Copies of this chain bind each other. A is one copy, B any other.
């Protein structure tokens, strides 16, 4: 009986396993050779299957790459969430710094995949990474930011999408610049301060400012208090004089 109990369940998991094997092989080959450089034959060989078989799992090379990319972004999302979970600090800016450092590094290391994510739509018709996968990734930032607002560390009138554009946009642009200066003969731009500068901008621009100080330490609330006291005194004096 047991020997007969081999229903579609087993078959399904078998197919799913094979699909994972193909995806894993594809990922490896794409990483090594890029999209154009990757040969379907080599992917098939690495997955231990025939060339044609790939096409019963994925429509085309482009769709295979797309599956790899979506898996890639999901992986990034998990990693970013992992970074957020492992940061001890509860302070918004410390956590932001950790996320920024992670993202910058990721973007530099995986520049090719990230470019392909947005180039695929153009080159190959109708094929593009689902927006949901990208949305999930940036949601890590969004949650951090909203929490910062809830905790009163960030201005409540800050515009989330603008902060997000600045965060991810600047970091990706910086990564490209860093890469370019690396291949360059010229003095490479220091990578280190990028993240610090970013955090410091966020602190200055989005940080809640319970008390903005002038150069000499004067604050609005402080001055207001002094004026009240003065007014009292003056009133007293003028009362005595009359």
List residues of chain A with CB under 8 Å of any chain B CB. 34-37, 111-112, 115-116, 118-119, 122-125, 131, 134, 159, 161-162, 165-166, 168-174, 176-177, 180, 184, 189, 194, 197-198, 201, 204-205, 212-216, 218-221, 223-224, 226-227, 230-231, 233-234, 237-238, 240-241
Contacts of A234 in B (CB 8 A): 230, 233-234, 237
What's the number of copies of this chain in the assembled complex? Answer: 2
Min CB distance A216 to B, Å, is: 6
A-B contacts, 16 of them at CB < 8 A, read A36-B123, A134-B180, A166-B169, A169-B170, A169-B173, A172-B172, A214-B220, A214-B221, A215-B221, A216-B221, A216-B224, A218-B223, A220-B220, A223-B227, A226-B231, A240-B241
Main secondary structure of the interface of A (DSSP, over half): helix
A213 contact set on B, CB distance < 8 A? 220
B residues within 8 A CB of A111?
122
Q: Which of B112, B124, B134 contacts A122 (CB 8 A)?
A: B112
A242 to chain B, nearest CB (A): 10
A233 to B220, CA, bound (A): 22
Kindly identify which residue among B177, B180, B214, B238 contacts A165, using a CB–CB cutoff of 8 Å.
B177
Bound-state CA distance A122–B198 (Å) is 28
Cross-chain contact A241 with B230 (CB below 8 angstroms): no
Residues of B within 8 A of A118 (CB): 115, 119, 176
Which residues in B have their C-beta under 8 angstroms from that of A34?
122-123
Chain B residues near A166 (CB-CB < 8 A): 166, 169-170, 201
